[in-house]
Structure 1
Amino acid sequence: MAAIAGSGTGSRDTRTSRADWESAGRSWSLLDWSHRDDYVEDMVRGSESLDGIVLVVSACEGVASRTRQELLLAHRAGVQSLVIFVNKVDLIEDDELRGLVGTEIRELLSQCGYSADLVPLVFGSALKVLEGDTSQDGGEAVKRLLRCMGNAIEQGRVTDGPFLMSIQDSFGIPTKAASPANRLREAFAALGPGTLVTGRIERGVVEPGAEVAVIGFGSQQVGTVAGVATPFEVGSRGVAGESASVLLRGVEYEGVERGQVLARPGSVASHTAFEAEVYVMRPDESGQSVTFSNSGKRVGYFYFRSAEVLGDITGLRQGDIEVDYAEGGSYAMTVRLARPVALEEGLRFSVREGGRAVGSGLVTRIVGPLPA
């Protein structure tokens, strides 16, 4: 399993390999998980920094039990852009057998919640590529794979929605801070002082002159975009899926922090309470036994985009039945956060306890403030 990551996304574990390259108009980062635990951790933590996933299936072995587990986890994490690479086809000369492998994969995709006919399957041989073979199963297969990856990314990006970018970091300009502000200082020098925020654009487009708001943690500041920098150029615009640096006018640097969002004014608001569908990981998935209760006590940290907030559970249901505890499986929860966060229905999040990811969820309804 490998991930097509957005520009600026890094691996956190030495067991995760990373390859970076550029093609016409696009900067690529490919993360390769060599250990299943790392893949599970990244999927449960949240997949918002990933543009898509490439699932590698052996043509000789076909669909294995781990393949099903990986697809289910990717679907729960909200990964929609998916490409299948069927490897080792050089060991199978019978076209009918290749077709059977493809049919088996598409059946599994349907069972895991994907539109099987819309997920591209690329047949090839990694060994032939390494040997310099340029045939349909060698170099041509890599070209087909890259085209499919590019198409999957474009289809998964929401460029026509109201602009929203999660804030990863912020700097005052002018500044002598370290990267990335230090690299951008000269580029933005001609634009004058301001507040520089960096992050990944979740949806929409941002351009100089646009009115934007910094939202989250009980604060809202409205300002104007003075400049935009992406991995490709400074001064044009940033679009969904790109990492961007945005210089703001009329926004106080001291009131900006990681976990807030930069968005079109009025398009999103901060909230402290919501209902959600949550999947609680089993011990064999998370590596620890986790039990959530609706006691109202702090259960751990909830992660929304780049925000990390303490929260507790005030309501817990499985189906239509109210329960006292949740351990392994899918539940409906009512959650109260310690700080207001920019929330909206359909937003995905993860839950961590003791430093480990233990669950993932989807906001289904925003509710009013709950009593302490």
Structure 2
Amino acid sequence: MASLVVARFLAPAANRTLRHIINKRSIARIHNYARTLQISLPDQTQRRLYSEKKVFERNKPHCNVGTIGHVDHGKTTLTAALTKVLADQKLAKLRGYADIDNAPEEKARGITINVAHIEYQTEKRHYGHTDCPGHADYIKNMITGAAQMDGAIMVVAATDGVMPQTREHLLLAKQIGVKHLVVFINKVDAADKEMVELVEMEIRELLNEMGFDGDNVPIITGSALCALEGKDPEIGKDAILKLLDAIDNYIPTPERELDKPFLLPIEHVYSIPGRGTVVTGVEMFHQILDEAQAGDQLGALVRSVKREEIKRGMVMAKPGTVKSYDNIETQVYVLNKEEGGRSKPFTSYIQLQMFCRTWDTAVQVIVVDKEMVMPGEDSKLILKMVKPMVLEQGQRFTLRDGMQTLGTGVVTKVLPPLNDEERELVTAGKKAREKKLAKMNQ
């Protein structure tokens, strides 16, 4: 690098010195060489800056957690408070509320829309923290965020108690496979003691109803805002430290399946200026990774691929290890009205939306062995997809109907791909489909 810089500045002097003893063709070559050096310097600088990035040290067990709960109950404020308290101990980088909800629309509306990823660590573990949106309109993004969690922090405001998205987020987290969680009752500075006790009882009842160990799940009371502003340590900083201790001790360190082929579901795709000169590599929270492991939340810099060729929902995988399918047999539990599901049964050919990992797609449902499925039933369903998706036997998914979660299921069998006629039935409108089915049955 030093020789390149020296050559860049000495080239004009060399040109003047040699002007009297060499011909014009040689002079042109020197000018071209100087220009080549000037062009190459930004590339070399980018390489140097990349090499100077901090290398991620894997010296603690890694665990993925995240905040779930109703909109405006304080999930993002709690995330910021966690970084504030840990930053004081030099275990995290302080991230303010505005740094987490940094999209223009998020700032304008004051709510979380996209999933945000934060890094921090305690004395025991390193954490990747996912801050999920609580608004009902952004359940799709919440499902994506929860799919990455080993454990969850359910946030409930003491002023409101259990609300619709509290219940739905808890249900979705359980369906996706989150088995361990802790609860933070927020905004206790704005509620009296009796109200806080009633909210805690309500939460424990809900946890038991949803299949969690409601009697033993740690419930911490406090105020994320007080912790963020450095006020009232008992419900501020001390409450955050209690929460971190509960996360460390109640959520077990996950066992990673490191012997299986590499698979990375793609959540976001970004264009980096000068990407043609960026050195290919992998990063975890903007720190260089020597190697990525199962459970890591990472960014991969790739070359020779156009931005429009990669989309959310795709996967990066070892060649030949995964396939995409559009016709599957599944076992699905359909939620009843009390669980937030439908109040009426449904029949074959209903169109639903299927969510799995970071992808979602429209599916046509075929009811097997009976005419209709009642709320609260466990049923075998065949799902025919509008477009093929990467999946495998045993994979879990969620079905939604508009703004309502209909049920959760598991892939039990992969069926032969749809032919042209079957695909036309899946993509056709309701009336066109009914006409075609009537002709087929004649």
Taking structure 2 as the reference length, the TM-score comes to 0.53
Q: Does residue 305 of the first structure (1) align with residue 357 of the second (2)?
A: yes
Deviation at 1:182, TM superposition (A): 2.7
Q: Structure 1, residues 283-333: CA drift from partner, whole Å, max 9, x if none?
A: 8998999874324xx7244333333444322334xxxxx433346444431
Deviation at 1:231, TM superposition (A): 2.6
Aligned partner (choices 224, 233, 246) of residue 287 of structure 2:
233
| Contact 1:16–1:31 (CA under 8 A) maintained in structure 2 | no
| Contact 1:302–1:350 (CA under 8 A) maintained in structure 2 | yes
Deviation at 1:244, TM superposition (A): 1.9
Deviation at 1:352, TM superposition (A): 5.2
Match of 1:245 in 2: 300
SS in 1 for 2:416: coil
Query: Which range moves more in the overlay, 10-19 or 259-268?
Result: 10-19
What is the total number of aligned residue pairs between the two structures?
313
Distance change (3 Å), C-alpha of 1:146 and 1:351: same
* Structure 2 segments unaligned to the other structure (5+ residues): 1-68, 70-74, 80-99, 423-442
Deviation at 1:88, TM superposition (A): 5.9
Deviation at 1:361, TM superposition (A): 2.7
- Give the alignment of 1:160-175 within 5 angstroms: 160=258, 162=260, 163-168=262-267
Deviation at 1:343, TM superposition (A): 1.4
Match of 1:345 in 2: 393
| Contact 2:282–2:298 (CA under 8 A) maintained in structure 1 | no
Deviation at 1:139, TM superposition (A): 0.8
Deviation at 1:165, TM superposition (A): 0.6
SS in 1 for 2:112: strand
Q: Distance in 2 between matches of 1:88 and 1:9?
A: 20
Taking structure 1 as the reference length, the TM-score comes to 0.61
Distance change (3 Å), C-alpha of 1:56 and 1:182: same
SS in 2 for 1:54: strand
Deviation at 1:334, TM superposition (A): 1.5
* Structure 1 segments unaligned to the other structure (5+ residues): 171-178, 192-226, 317-321
Q: Distance in 1 between matches of 2:283 and 2:300?
A: 5
| Contact 1:291–1:325 (CA under 8 A) maintained in structure 2 | yes
Aligned partner (choices 23, 30, 39) of residue 131 of structure 2:
30
Match of 2:412 in 1: 365
Q: Distance in 2 between matches of 1:183 and 1:143?
A: 42
| Identity of matched residues, % | 29
Q: Does residue 141 of the first structure (1) align with residue 248 of the second (2)?
A: no
| Contact 1:40–1:285 (CA under 8 A) maintained in structure 2 | no
Q: Which has the higher contact order (CA 8 A, sep 6+)?
A: 1
Aligned-pair Cα RMSD in Å = 5.0
Q: Distance in 2 between matches of 1:146 and 1:158?
A: 22
Deviation at 1:127, TM superposition (A): 6.3
Higher helix share: 2
Corresponding letter in the other structure for 1:244: G
Larger Rg, first or second structure (1 or 2): 2
- Give the alignment of 1:317-336 within 5 angstroms: 322-326=369-373, 328-330=375-377, 331-336=379-384
- Give the alignment of 1:148-297 within 5 angstroms: 148-149=246-247, 155=253, 158=256, 160=258, 162=260, 163-168=262-267, 179-182=270-273, 185-188=276-279, 227-234=281-288, 236-239=290-293, 240-247=295-302, 258-265=312-319, 267-279=321-333, 292-295=346-349
Match of 1:121 in 2: 219
Q: Distance in 2 between matches of 1:68 and 1:282?
A: 13
SS in 2 for 1:334: strand
